[in-house]
């Protein structure tokens, strides 16, 4: 299985890469952080591609390089993303555009590059996009983030309809509160306790919880699952 994971240097992306490595996948990992990417790639015996997915040229070059490393692709994990907080009335046009460039446009370009390769090779591939619980129920101070993730959900649904005739499934994951490096600088013990209380399971997610669902969607067991936005929220959201 040839797998490309973006945003793989740390957090959810690194956990997904670790899960696929454990299952024997040939991995190409893409990220903007060269040192951390080199470390995780070396640990997993994976190929590393340093690329800036926030620009069209950078994204297309990174995806083409990653897919070309193994002469094709079976699974794409579009995980790269950013999270920023800003009151609605203070969000600038540049901040809005940057959020969509990384979270949404790079997802589109990844789908396009992977699907073209899959179709040309006749591969019944899997594309898994990273959305968010926020894409279904936005929180205050996250208008640009929530909107970008809602767009990922809609993009996933359309891609599933257009690529289904080629045997390619497209789904997305909607994690809730995941304890990763991305939010470590801004969260407190009190915040984690409050989030944990929102889940019937009484805890926040670990990156491995998300990685497990990604592995399922890439497996033969999920061959008839497409166009779905799957909650990985510990029951914080049940729809």
Which residues are the active-site residues?
Answer: 145
Quote the CA–CA distance of 47 and 90 in Å, as a whole number. 40
Distances (CA, A) of 132 to 135, 176, 182: 5, 7, 14
State how beta strands 2-6 and 229-232 pair.
unpaired
- Report the candidate in 161, 172, 142 with the shortest Cα–Cα distance to residue 79: 172
DSSP-derived secondary structure for 156-217: HHHHHHHHGGGT-EEEEEEE-SB--GGGTTT--HHHHHHHHHTSTTSSPBPHHHHHHHHHHH
Q: 3-class secondary structure for 9-28?
A: CCHHHHHHHHHHHHCCCEEE
Rg, the chain, Cα only: 17
CB 2 within 8 A of CB 70: yes
CB 83 within 8 A of CB 145: yes
CA angle 134-88-203, nearest 5°? 30
**Biggest alpha carbon–alpha carbon distance for the chain:** 51
């Amino acid at each position: 299985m040839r797998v490309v994971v973006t945003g793989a240097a740390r957090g959810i992306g690194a956990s997904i890469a670790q899960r696929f490595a454990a299952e024997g996948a040939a991995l190409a990992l893409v990220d903007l952080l060269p040192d951390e990417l080199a470390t995780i790639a070396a640990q997993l015996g994976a190929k590393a591609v340093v690329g800036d997915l926030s620009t069209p040229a950078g994204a297309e070059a990174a995806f083409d390089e990653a897919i070309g490393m193994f002469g094709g692709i079976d699974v794409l994990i579009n995980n790269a993303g950013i999270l920023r907080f800003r009151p609605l009335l203070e969000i600038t046009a540049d901040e809005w555009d940057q959020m969509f460039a990384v979270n949404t446009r790079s997802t589109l370009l990844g789908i396009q590059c992977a699907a073209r390769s899959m179709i040309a090779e006749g591969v019944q591939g899997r594309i898994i996009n990273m959305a968010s619980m926020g894409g279904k129920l936005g929180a205050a101070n996250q208008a640009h983030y929530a909107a970008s993730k809602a767009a990922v959900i809609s993009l996933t649904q359309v891609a599933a309809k257009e690529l289904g005739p080629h045997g390619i499934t497209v789904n997305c994951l909607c994690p809730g509160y995941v304890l990763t490096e991305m939010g470590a600088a801004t969260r407190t013990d009190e915040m984690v306790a409050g989030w944990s209380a929102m889940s019937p399971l009484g805890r926040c997610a670990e990156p491995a919880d998300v990685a497990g669902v990604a592995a399922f969607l890439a497996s033969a067991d999920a061959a008839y699952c497409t166009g779905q936005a799957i909650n990985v929220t510990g029951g914080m959201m049940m729809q």
